[in-house]
Amino acid sequence: MGEQACACEEKYKEIEEAIGEYKGDRSALIPLLQKTQRLFGYVPRAVQVKIAEELGIPLTDVYGTVTFYSFFSLKPKGKYNIQCCNGTACYVRGAPKVIERFEKELGIKAGDTTDDGKYSLQVVRCLGACGLSPTIMVNQDTHARMKPDKVPEVLKKYV
Ligand code: FES
C-alpha cells in the first residue's frame, strides 16, 4: 500500500480492522474517514479504496467526501503547516482574502499540500486569538493582523 516510506503498517492494520467491522455499513463512512485522518494525519488513497470496497460505496463518493470536508486532507502535511483562521472575528476582518492570497501564492487550494511537500494550507475555526484577527499559524508561530499583502512576507520566513 505504501505511497511513501513510513512506519505505517501498524496504522494500516488498525484501520483495516476498523473498516472490517463496518462491512456494508455506508453510515460508517465519515467516522472511518475521521479515524483515518486522526491516525495518518491525512486520508491515504489506499485506505479510501479499502473503505469503498468494504462499505460498498463507489470510490468517487469516498473521494468526494474527503475533498468536501476541510478537516480531511488527501496528502500528508507539509513541512510548514499554515492554518488560516476563518472563524467569525477573522472572517469579518478579511480572512477570506488572506486565504485566497495564500492559495494564489502557493498554487494550491485550502486543504492541500504543495507537490514539493513544503507547505500545507488549512482553513480552521478560531485559533483562540480573536483580538489579533485575522490570525494565522505556521506550525507553532502565530501571525497577527494578517493582510493579503503580508502573505509573501510570511512565506519568505519559511523556506
Ligand atoms: S476567530 Fe480567528 S482567532 Fe478567533
Give pLDDT tens digits for 85-123: 999 999 999 999 999 999 999 999 998 899 999 999 999
- Edge to edge, the sheet with strand 80-85 lists 119-124, 80-85, 136-138, 141-143
Q: What is the location of CATH 3.40.30.10 in the chain? A: 80-156
Tell me the average pLDDT across 66-75. 85
Q: Are 9 and 30 in contact (CB under 8 A)?
A: no
Integer Cα distance of 144 and 134 in angstroms: 6
Which parts of 53-134 are beta strand (E)? Answer: 80-85, 119-124
* Residue 92 CA, ligand 1 centroid: distance in Å: 10
* Residue 148 CA, ligand 1 centroid: distance in Å: 17
The CATH number for 9-68, chosen from 3.30.565, 2.40.128, 1.10.10, 1.10.3470, is 1.10.10
* Residue 130 CA, ligand 1 centroid: distance in Å: 4
Tell me the average pLDDT across 54-83. 92
Which CA distances in Å does 33 have to 41, 47, 143, 151? Answer: 11, 9, 31, 32
Residue whose CB lies within 8 A of the most ligand 1 atoms, among 83, 124, 127, for a mutation test: 127
- 75 against 142, higher pLDDT: 142
pLDDT at position 35 over 70 = yes
Q: What is the location of CATH 1.10.10 in the chain? A: 9-68
CATH topology of domain 80-156: Glutaredoxin (3.40.30)
Kindly report the pTM of this predicted structure. 0.70
pLDDT the model gives residue 74:
84
Cβ–ligand 1 distance for 123 under 6 Å, the answer no
pLDDT > 90 fraction of the chain, expressed in percent and rounded? 82
> Which atom of ligand 1 has the smallest separation from the CA of 127?
3
Amino acid at 130: C
Helix (H, G, I), strand (E, B) or coil at 62: helix
Amino acid at 74: L
